[in-house]
Structure 1
Amino acid sequence: MQNLGLRFPELLIWSPLIAGLLCFIIKNDKNSKAVALFSSIVTLAISFASLMYADDRQLSGLKDSYVWMPYLGASFNIGLDGMGHLLTLLTAFSFPLIFVATYKNEYKNASAFYGLMLLSQAGLMGVFTAMDALVFYFFWELALIPVYFLCSRWGGEKRIQATFKFFVYTFTGSLLMLIGIIYVYLQTPAVFDANHVLVSNHSFSISAFYALHIPFEQQFWLFWLFFVAFAIKMPIFPFHTWQPDTYEQSPTAVTMVLSGIMVKMGVFAVLRWLVPVFPAGVEKYSTFVIGLSVFGMIYASLIAIKQDDLKRLVAYSSIAHIGLMCAAIFSSTSVGVQGVMIQMFSHGINIIGLWIVIDLIEKQTGIRKISQLGGIAHKAPVLTIMLVVIAFANIALPLTNAFVGEFMMFNGLFTFNVWYAAIAGLSIILAAVYTLNMVQKVFYGETNSITATIKEIALNEKIILAVIVVAIFLMGVFPQPMFNLTKDAVTLIIGKGK
């Protein structure tokens, strides 16, 4: 079974990649939709199976896989450690939810739509399993490029402007990261084979990157090359301006991928590549970055309170949550980083749940304006119950999944600086304001001419929301398996970062 275990990272990439290419070939929209859903379920099964080996030391950590470009010192090196397990599980768990929840949505040229969605999933899996900097960069781009086409082709009326801004931001970030990767690569030692024959003058291996002791003065500017690229993807203030427009204009299924999974690429990259490789840069700029993150949390929360569009409200809410994750990482505490690990998964589940509810409302009413809705609880009580639970999770109510991670992140931030923690704590109050205000205005009160025609959600939609609600309570009451899964990754990151 050990040989099978070594195949799990590859299967997680190849399953959606092959299915995505197959969707492009299939011209029947109904069949391509079925292939996409079946592929996502298979990928989820592979991810669950890989968890059986999570405690096997021989099957985790940094592993060589295949020789790719030996003359450059690049190997197709992929593997699953605790953090990789967690985020590949999030990716695998999210796509079936997205496909089932939006199964009745019609797309022009659906074959291309689902093909691009699956290619993006393959790219995400590659990012979370990459143990080679060049492989990481390759999959980073593979995850992003399909989203450009998905947004620009199937988005809203202002999709071209939103996609252009998204492209400029992410392309700039990718270019900065590539420059940084090449520079660090040139600092790595030569690679020799078993016979001590020179294979390459340098290496892209993550182990080679981790082993480097880059001079302090070089770390200071290299830090910003990588950090800006990752900050754009998260995003945090002031690199966030592409996000609300892109979320608003993208098809809801694509928005779920962007906010539920893709923003975690930036958080993951900071933990995987930035903190361990540039510890001096992290130490020097941690106070400044935490200040930016905390300011962004309060700023995004205040903007969310003023929003009348459901999509933009959730978009700004996401910025606030990601800001707390970024601040907790740079607190450089074990409890803070552990909280980030847990919260990456919890936030992904919760935010996808919110998007599903918004999509269900928009499909029935054609409206996303909070001021034009009301009284939905009278017409769709099951939908209302599900939304209330997800909303409580979004504001980190005890016994919900988000409470665990958020408590730990605030604990780490408090250890770093009491005042930063106190100011960041205001975002909890603000989150309750905009979330509960949205629930009250949209779901309670009297129905109007728009909401009077709303019907209760279908069985498949009830099942998907029920799965999310069960996950919220399960992780909130019993988070220990996630602690066990990620504790070694936290130890490695904190150890390398000091």
Structure 2
Amino acid sequence: MNVSLILIILLVGAFATYLAGDKLASKVALLFSIASLGFSIVLLNQYNLGENINFINQWINQPNVSFALNADGLAIAMLLLTTALTPIIIYSSFRNEYKNAKSFYALILFMAFAMCGTFLAADGLLYYIFWELALIPIYFIALIWGNGDVEERKKAVVKFFIYTLAGSLFMLVAFIYLYQKAGSFLIQDLYNLNLTASEQLWIFLAFFLAYAIKIPIIPFHTWQANVYQKAPTVGTMLLSGIMLKMGLYSVIRWQLPIAPLAAKEYMYIFIGLGIAGVIYGSIVALRQRDLKKLLAYSSLAHVGLIAAGSYTLTIDGLRGAVLQMIAHGFVVVGLFFASEIIYRRYETRVIAEMGGIRSQAVKFASLFMILVLASVALPTTFNFVGEFTVLYSLSQINVWFAVLGGTTIILGAYYMLKMYQHVMLGETNTKPFADVTFNEATTLVIIVAVLFFFGMYPKPITDLITPSLENIITQINRIN
């Protein structure tokens, strides 16, 4: 089986979902998303058996562009994250009613298609096309099916679109320049270039603008909280659970190996920006009154730590960053879904208007508590493995980086537990709160099971990603 089949399933699924009509759209979308997960698992098995699952075919002769897909361990890990979270996100939305549901669910599958393509692409121009394609469906999902004041929503979504598009144009210019030097967009040809220190700096900065906006890293984060708040919860899950990982993945796959001299020269600056995001996101989260915005700034703090780990240029830093990407994907989707469950009952996201939920919904309170503890990296949860590895890598560079980066655990524990206290404990809200339905419980239990399983046994993932990361470290340390 070749890796392009995953993309075909998702793309065909998007069209089939649209043609199925509004009544069947959610079920057809779920079916195709589960099929893509199944084929991803088959792909993983073939990779472990040593079979060739890559795909390359000449696409455009002039310029020299190939439809090249590279399924190494790192790409497969991100592919599995995308194809595992997509059916969870679709299934979690079953209790919601959407106007023009066929378009809504078709856009979700099309976005999954574009994100998988971004993770698999091994040609610079093909990668850029998938990168930009992923922006289109989330723009419409947030704009049409978002919540809150229409004008404010439009303003937030358009700002997000312009920011990310503008940053991506710098990346496109960098690829065009690299093509002029290599005569090809293939990633290995770009890796093999002997660029001067000055050239690498400009290439590094061009990539950084695109990735810093997408992740986001401060000071390029100003779009994030408003879009997370205004988008429908499904859109927020897609953004925080998967889409921001495109930027983090790309730092490791494209930016660092192509411009290693610049990465080494300015390592401390970019680690500092990541850690600044940790501190800033945590402090701002402390002051939030809206549950969704609190979770948005919490996510900003966590991805700041992941970015800092990536820029350490060590095998531990890269491995910890990838582990934390996957762990963060599951926990943040779980937390945003929990906020959606509360909104379904109370029709508010204002923390002060909540309270006493635990006395009425013990199952939900227990599952929510597990997600909160996983978010603050409680040992035995998946997040602990990733955060501990990243902090260890930071300590290898400078112990103060680890100390400052560790504030995400301390401050995170404070604002997340304080939030839980206000939302779940205290005086009971006047509205009754029904406990989780089968659909809601199933979604949360699957997420919690993943967090505990890989928290206690991360070896399958570390074994999968380590060879690819070692190759990237070798490329970073090559003689220029």
Q: What corresponds to 2:89 in structure 1?
A: 98
1:468 alignment partner, one of 444, 447, 450: 447
Q: What corresponds to 1:75 in structure 2?
A: 66
Instruction: After superposition, give the CA deviation of every residue in 1:360-418 in whole Å (9 maximum; x if it has no partner).
Output: 11011101111110010111111111111111110000000000010000000010111
Q: What corresponds to 1:177 in structure 2?
A: 171
Q: Is residue 2:29 matched to residue 1:36?
A: yes
Note if contact 1:54-1:485 (Cα within 8 Å) is conserved in structure 2.
no
5 Å matches for 1:374-385?
374-385=355-366
2:423 alignment partner, one of 439, 442, 445: 442
Amino acid at match of 2:159: K
Note if contact 2:323-2:385 (Cα within 8 Å) is conserved in structure 1.
yes
Instruction: After superposition, give the CA deviation of every residue in 1:77-111 in whole Å (9 maximum; x if it has no partner).
Output: 01211111111101111011111111111111111
Distance 1:78 1:288 in 2: 33
Q: What corresponds to 1:253 in structure 2?
A: 234
Note if contact 1:350-1:472 (Cα within 8 Å) is conserved in structure 2.
yes
Distance 1:64 1:390 in 2: 38
Amino acid at match of 2:376: I
Q: What corresponds to 1:355 in structure 2?
A: 336
Q: What corresponds to 1:16 in structure 2?
A: 10
Note if contact 1:230-1:270 (Cα within 8 Å) is conserved in structure 2.
yes
Amino acid at match of 2:22: D
Amino acid at match of 1:111: K
Q: What corresponds to 1:121 in structure 2?
A: 112
What TM-score comes out, normalization by structure 2 length? 0.97
Distance 1:439 1:279 in 2: 43
Distance 1:470 1:69 in 2: 45
Displacement of 1:55 in angstroms is 2.4
Note if contact 1:311-1:368 (Cα within 8 Å) is conserved in structure 2.
yes
Amino acid at match of 1:13: L
Distance 2:46 2:323 in 1: 20
Displacement of 1:23 in angstroms is 2.5
Unaligned runs of 5+ in 2: none
Instruction: After superposition, give the CA deviation of every residue in 1:177-233 in whole Å (9 maximum; x if it has no partner).
Output: 100111111110xxxxxxxxxxxxx11101101111111111111110001101110
Distance 2:139 2:165 in 1: 11
5 Å matches for 1:254-333?
254-333=235-314
Distance 1:406 1:448 in 2: 36
User: Share of identical aligned residues, percent?
Assistant: 39
1:51 alignment partner, one of 44, 55, 63: 44
Q: What corresponds to 1:148 in structure 2?
A: 139
Distance 1:484 1:455 in 2: 43
Distance 2:435 2:100 in 1: 29
Q: What corresponds to 1:424 in structure 2?
A: 405
1:227 alignment partner, one of 202, 208, 216: 208
Q: Is residue 2:450 matched to residue 1:456?
A: no
Displacement of 1:54 in angstroms is 2.6
Instruction: After superposition, give the CA deviation of every residue in 1:423-456 in whole Å (9 maximum; x if it has no partner).
Output: 1212211000111011111011221213xx1101
Number of residues paired by the alignment?
474
Q: What corresponds to 2:155 in structure 1?
A: 161
Moved over 4 A (4+): none
Unaligned runs of 5+ in 1: 189-201
Instruction: After superposition, give the CA deviation of every residue in 1:310-347 in whole Å (9 maximum; x if it has no partner).
Output: 11011001111110111111111111111111111110
Secondary structure of the residue that 1:65 maps to in structure 2?
Answer: strand
Note if contact 2:121-2:127 (Cα within 8 Å) is conserved in structure 1.
yes
Displacement of 1:349 in angstroms is 0.4
Amino acid at match of 1:54: Y
Displacement of 1:64 in angstroms is 4.7
Q: What corresponds to 1:238 in structure 2?
A: 219
Displacement of 1:59 in angstroms is 2.2
5 Å matches for 1:205-216?
205-216=186-197
Distance 1:183 1:71 in 2: 15
Note if contact 2:168-2:209 (Cα within 8 Å) is conserved in structure 1.
no
RMSD of aligned alpha carbons: 1.1
Q: What corresponds to 2:458 in structure 1?
A: 479
Distance 2:12 2:167 in 1: 28
Note if contact 1:374-1:443 (Cα within 8 Å) is conserved in structure 2.
yes
Distance 1:17 1:427 in 2: 38
Distance 2:70 2:166 in 1: 28
